[in-house]
Amino acid sequence: MSIPFEETATRGRERGFRRPVRSARAAGDVHAGHGGRRLALGIAVATGVIVATHLAHAVALIEIYPPGPGPWPAWVALAAVVAGSWAATAALGYRVPDWLLACVLAGVATVVVLELLEIEGLLGIGITPTAAAAASALLMPVAALRATRAPLIASFVVGAVLAADALLQAATAGRWVVPGLVVAGSAVLPVVLTVIGVDGFRRLVRREVDLSLVQSTVATPRSAVGMRASEELAQLDFDAESLLEDVGSGRIPIPLPPDIAELAGELAARLRVRLIEGRTDTWLRHAVTESAYLSGRVRVDDPLGYAARLSPAQREGLLLALWHIVGDNPRRTTASAVVRLDLSDDFDDDRDVDLGIVIDASGISSRHVDHAMWEAVGTVGSNTTTNRRGGFRIDIDCQTDTTSWSTAAPGPGVRTRGT
């Protein structure tokens, strides 16, 4: 019986990270509300401006078109694509599934083919594509509503086709090849800028949402479990209740069959493991495990669960410090950190207990860390920094109130006064 988890669709440093279902659902809701619909609305307005500009260009060229339907068959097809895709997107809750993307791409290809067939050999008299370039602009809102790779590739294909058509007419078009190439570039550039903006905004939203979700762990009590552990406990509880109900109702005979007995033993073992881990599985471990940016980059060395003794302000400061070192690295290097927590040897003060925290960072220099990191470390306690090749080390001496040490029984091996 496995626990259902939802894998985030992230890249780079987040690849392979599996976020708990509730955390992933919360991140997805925020992303859909801010990084999808609202962003797509603004991009749709920009798309409308671009399409209107190309339409005005088509109207200006109508006087030099030879007798015939002119550019209007392609524009009628473009209008049908716009109306159909807009209606389908609105009906689907502003989502673009694969089948709708395929329809949009087919519509864009149809518009390009219709126009190129109509203006074949006319570049020499100044007639350049209009509807084809406008059709490529329709990929801009699509990039805001789903993954950006397919719209970007499609726009490059459209631009390459228009550029190739212009170059093939170089012998007869002369200097008009340059405007033809400019139109081909206009089919690609807006989509490229859109993809850059959308990807940057999504990274920003994803990082801020991840930080907000992880910061929720700083207020948890000593014995609380994180989202990942609570989901596992809920699943274990459900499995155990189902098994007991089947036994009590007589659906499973007694003595238990070998396979059911093995399942019961597995459930009991998993419950024991979870209960043992829960004694030292502090908020800091939950924060690191449940963060797409800290998971796999930060190692917590706190076998006795001393992180639970920090105040909420100290917890938040330590978490933000790790975030700025590992998750907010402005350079392309891969930064990592090891956090060690242990008691200091000085127990002379009757009011406070000294707790030593060491942050050993690798892959980043202290000069490249945001200034906010040092402010966050200052809220944890007094600190000293030692630079070394390929990283740096921060030694923090913080004070924890003795009353917080007496609110819960110490874990196994916890040192106390006089020991």
pLDDT digits 0-9 by tens, 339-397 = 988 876 554 444 456 788 999 998 888 888 888 889 889 989 888 999 988 889 999 98
pLDDT digits 0-9 by tens, 279-295 = 556 788 878 877 878 88
CB-based contact 365:387 (threshold 8 Å)? yes
Cβ density class 218-257: b for 16+ within 10 Å, e for less: bebebebbbbbbebbbeebeebeeebeeeeeeeeeeeebe
pLDDT at 249 over 80: no
The SS3 call for residue 8 is coil
Residue 272 lies in a domain: no
- Over residues 149-167, the mean pLDDT reads 93
| Residue 394, Ramachandran bin (φ over 0: left; ψ between -120 and 50: alpha; else beta) | beta
Residues 57 and 181 in one domain: yes
Tell me the CATH number at 398: 3.30.565
Residues 112 and 16 in one domain: yes
For position 303, what pLDDT does the model report? 81
For position 151, what pLDDT does the model report? 93
Adjacency order of strands within the sheet including 352-362: 298-301, 336-343, 352-362, 391-401, 382-388
- 215 CB-near residues (< 8 Å, 6+ apart): 287, 316, 319
| Nearest-angstrom CA–CA distance, 45 and 42 | 5
For position 183, what pLDDT does the model report? 92
| Nearest-angstrom CA–CA distance, 106 and 101 | 9
pLDDT band of 222, cuts 50, 70, 90:
low
Residues 335 and 202 in one domain: no
Residues 333 and 188 in one domain: no
pTM of the model: 0.66
Residue 33 lies in a domain: yes
Residue 373 lies in a domain: yes
Residue 316 lies in a domain: yes
Choosing from 184, 212, 240, the residue where a domain stops is 212
Residues 145 and 25 in one domain: yes
| Nearest-angstrom CA–CA distance, 248 and 397 | 56
The SS3 call for residue 407 is coil
Give 73: exposed, middle or buried? Use CB within 10 Å, 0-12, 13-18, 19+.
middle
Domain holding 369, by residue range, is 300-419
Choosing from 212, 236, 267, the residue where a domain stops is 212
Lowest mean pLDDT of 53-62, 161-170, 300-309, name the range.
Answer: 300-309
> How many domains does the chain divide into?
2
Choosing from 166, 181, 212, the residue where a domain stops is 212
Residues 330 and 197 in one domain: no
Q: CB-side exposure of 361: number of CA atoms within 13 Å?
A: 28
Residue 340: DSSP 8-state: E
Residue 391 lies in a domain: yes
Residue 182 lies in a domain: yes
